Amino acid sequence: MRYMDGFVVPVPKGKQDDYVALAQRASTIFLEHGALRVVECWGDDIPAGKTNDFRTAVIAEPDEHVVFSWIEWPDKATRDAGMAKVMSDERMKPDGELPFSGARMIYGGFATVVDTAA
């Protein structure tokens, strides 16, 4: 069964191009190490929640956008092996300041329970 890694991250306004360039570079590396698909989505319609929402989840400031991303893997074993390779890949080392707040990024791995494309 497919396995997903999900991410939500705040990105300062004016850093979209830098973020997209980083995401494109990283997506190539994830695909080389076994991922089937990498999707990056720029927040467009994020309603304010009464208790919580995407913006409060990452403590987004007024001058930040929210990005929602996921990586699709064939299964958890491929993800575990692939992620270990990705994290040790020299190309993943930042070549400067990251265009987002890594400290406020939320992420996790998810087992698929419903998939209409399967």
Range(s) of the domain holding residue 14 = 3-65+72-111
Q: Which residues partner with 74 through β-bridges?
A: none
Kindly state whether residue 116 falls inside one of the protein's structural domains.
no
User: How is residue 60 written in tokens?
Assistant: 């987004």
Residue pair 99/23 in contact by the 8 Å Cβ criterion? no
Give pLDDT tens digits along the chain (118 positions): 899 999 999 999 999 999 999 999 999 999 999 999 999 999 999 999 999 999 999 999 999 999 999 999 999 999 999 999 999 999 998 788 889 998 999 999 999 999 898 5
Dist. CA 91–CA 81, nearest whole Å: 17
**Backbone phi, psi, residue 42, to 5°:** -85, 125
Q: What pTM was computed for the model?
A: 0.91
Kindly state whether residue 87 falls inside one of the protein's structural domains.
yes
Task: Write b or e for each residue in 51-69: b if 16 or more Cβ atoms lie within 10 A of its Cβ, otherwise e.
Answer: eeebbeebebeeebbbbbb
* Domain count along the chain: 1
Kindly state whether residue 76 falls inside one of the protein's structural domains.
yes
Find the distance separating the first CA and the last CA of the chain, reported in whole Å: 9
Check which CATH number belongs to the domain holding 18 and give it: 3.30.70.100
Dist. CA 20–CA 17, nearest whole Å: 5
